[in-house]
Amino acid sequence: MSEFVLELRGITKTFPGVKALDNVQFQLGPGEIHALMGENGAGKSTFIKVITGVHQPDEGQMFLNGKEVNFKNPTEAQKVGIAAIYQHVTCYPDLSVTENIFMGHEKIQKGTRRIRWKEMHEEANRLLKELGASFDAKTIMGTLSVAQQQMVEIAKALSTNAKIIIMDEPTAALSRNESEDLYRITEKLRDSGTSIIFISHRFEDMYRLASKVTVFRDSKYIGSWGVHDIPNEDLIVAMVGREIKQLFPKVETTIGSEVLRVEGLGKTGFFADVSFSLRKGEILGITGLVGAGRSEVCQAIFGVEPADKGKIFVKGVETTIQTPLQAMNKGIGYLPEDRQQQGLILSWGIDKNITLSSLSLISKKGWMNRKKEDEYANHLSKKVNVKTPNVANLVSSLSGGNQQKVAVAKLLMTGLDIIILDEPTKGVDVGAKSAIYEIISNLAAQGYGVIMVSSEMPEVISMSDRILVMREGRITAEIQAKQATQEAILEAAMASKESTEGQSLEASGL
């Protein structure tokens, strides 16, 4: 008999081109709340999916109560009592709470195959009451708040008699009071003997709840400690302490006059009090955890989702930007984070993609000049070095890195002063990454003001001149890149709620 409820040894999982988990281990004791921490992309989500049977590991063993198990699909994991609650609640918004709780394991009358509603409602209400919920099981899911929906998810886990519950960033979308409720419920579950794996970016959650913490970094297992046996600083080093391997061809540039300034920019529910300035030839890095509001700020400046508070000054002149077209006319360009969804039209040729946002340059009185289009497309795709025999080829036939280059080429076609790059190297292999860094560097050298949003700290520190750190919709620190350390950035990105007040005051006084 093993002393652990769940134990994983030497788990390796490879996806085409990426090693998502590399010889990872993990041990979960009975009635334990175990925090799993690590940066974005450290492999936590893949790890969870291995435990819940969504992915099958390439190597390694998994033991449940000392017995080896192999899950071929999520149903098998569910049957032995493993349940997961995801960051984004995966509910059916138009169905009732009862239906959501019993989805997939409804109580069925033998013989007639009729659903036993009354029993299900009673059982659902009993579970909800146990969790201290104040709503009825017949309520429609979509009318509940995120916190209440999460309660339903937990009730769902309990209804399957789960012995192990995995919570993936459950507090990310919750307010302070709602988080307290969740802590209370989680502790109650622990006391009744359920083991819980708790993933969170908040140290606060970890100190409040967990007794043990395991850290992953770059798909590898770094270590496990008792929560109070390791100093906070050491934990941060464990999470980020990697060498910077890639090549960052940062060119020294002379930084010129101010091209963009935002003052007190805010959008209800997304970000508030965002103020900063950007100068000619400067690369301004914006970093923070996923969901900190970085992309939203960029989209507001570009007019995709306009801000509802604050001022934007382009070259010292106050301007209103409500649509992307207005932003482009003011000389602002934007490379969206999701190039496949927002940046490019995959079913189109490279040439048509490059010219799409600046059709006026290749047309006269509404008529397009195909020859001119071809010239522009060829010139620009060579400039950013897109690897293709012909610019008429479909974008969908290119690799991720080359697709990103096409998206950059599209930006270069319009006469811009300010370029906003949202996660420019996301999903791009190392070789293409350094090519993209070189392009970014050259853009700054040519006098563009560049804003680079990124979660990858080595990239931010090496490429930027100045770094803004955001957390929960506010700027929590501004650091000169030369003095920046990964630890300082992570601290500003993750600091617990109490310590924010002072910092955000500092930030708004910029």
Partner 1 sequence: MVANNEQKGTLIENIAKFREVGLLGFIIILSVVIQWRNSSFLTLENINDMITNTAILSILAVGMMLVIITRGIDLSIGATLALSGMIAALTVGAFPNLSPILAILLGTLVGLVSGLILGAIISKGGVLPIIATLGMMYIFRGLTFMVSGGQWVSAHQMPESFKGIATGSFLGINNLILIAVLIYVAFYYFINHTRTGRQIYAVGSNPDSAKISGINHDKIIWLVYTIMGGLSGLAGVLWVSKFASAQGDTASGYELTVIAACVLGGVNIAGGSGKISGIILGSVLIGIMNNALPLINVSPFWQTGIQGSIILIAVVLNALVKRGVDMNALMRRRI
- Segment interacting with partner 1 (CB under 8 A) among 62-70, 127-135, 151-159, 395-403: 395-403
**Residue 175 in contact with partner 1, rule: CB under 8 A:** no
Distance of CA 190 to the CA centre of its chain: 28
Q: Which structure tokens are listed for 75?
A: 């149903």
Q: DSSP secondary-structure letter at 349?
A: B
Q: Return the number of the residue (109 or 360) whose C-beta is nearest partner 1.
A: 360
CA proximity to 481, closest of 500, 467, 471, 496: 467
**Residue 323 in contact with partner 1, rule: CB under 8 A:** yes
Q: Return the number of the residue (204 or 351) whose C-beta is nearest partner 1.
A: 351
**Residue 188 in contact with partner 1, rule: CB under 8 A:** no
Q: Return the number of the residue (307 or 477) whose C-beta is nearest partner 1.
A: 307
Q: Return the number of the residue (323 or 446) whose C-beta is nearest partner 1.
A: 323
**Residue 398 in contact with partner 1, rule: CB under 8 A:** yes
Q: Report how many residues bind partner 1 under the rule CB under 8 A.
A: 37
Paired residues of 217 in beta bridges? 220
Task: Output the smallest distance, CB 105 to partner 1, in A.
Answer: 35
Q: DSSP secondary-structure letter at 394?
A: B
**Residue 389 in contact with partner 1, rule: CB under 8 A:** no
- Segment interacting with partner 1 (CB under 8 A) among 2-10, 110-118, 285-293, 318-326: 318-326
Among 18, 173, 394, 488, binds partner 1 (CB under 8 A): 394
| CA gap 447, 450 in Å, rounded | 9
Residues sharing a CB contact under 8 Å with residue 102, sequence separation 6 or more, in sequence order? 120, 123, 124, 156, 159
Among 357, 378, 442, 500, binds partner 1 (CB under 8 A): 357
What is the CB neighbour count within 10 angstroms for residue 332?
27
Query: Is there a contact between 445 and 456 (Cβ–Cβ < 8 Å)?
Result: no
Query: Is there a contact between 218 and 20 (Cβ–Cβ < 8 Å)?
Result: no
C-alpha separations of 403 from 5, 50, 312, 358 in Å: 45, 30, 31, 18
Among 103, 368, 430, 510, binds partner 1 (CB under 8 A): 368
**Residue 430 in contact with partner 1, rule: CB under 8 A:** no
Among 29, 31, 60, 324, binds partner 1 (CB under 8 A): 324
Q: DSSP secondary-structure letter at 416?
A: -
Q: Return the number of the residue (214 or 353) whose C-beta is nearest partner 1.
A: 353
| CA gap 84, 90 in Å, rounded | 10
**Residue 16 in contact with partner 1, rule: CB under 8 A:** yes
- What 3 state SS string does 214-270 have? EEEECCEEEEEEEHHHCCHHHHHHHHHCCCCCCCCCCCCCCCCCEEEEEEEEEECCC
Among 61, 139, 277, 399, binds partner 1 (CB under 8 A): 399
Among 130, 319, 348, 417, binds partner 1 (CB under 8 A): 348
**Residue 304 in contact with partner 1, rule: CB under 8 A:** yes
Which residues of the chain form contacts with partner 1 (CB under 8 A)?
A: 16-17, 302, 304, 323-325, 327-328, 334, 336, 341-348, 352, 356-357, 359-360, 363, 366-368, 370, 387, 394, 396-399, 402, 410
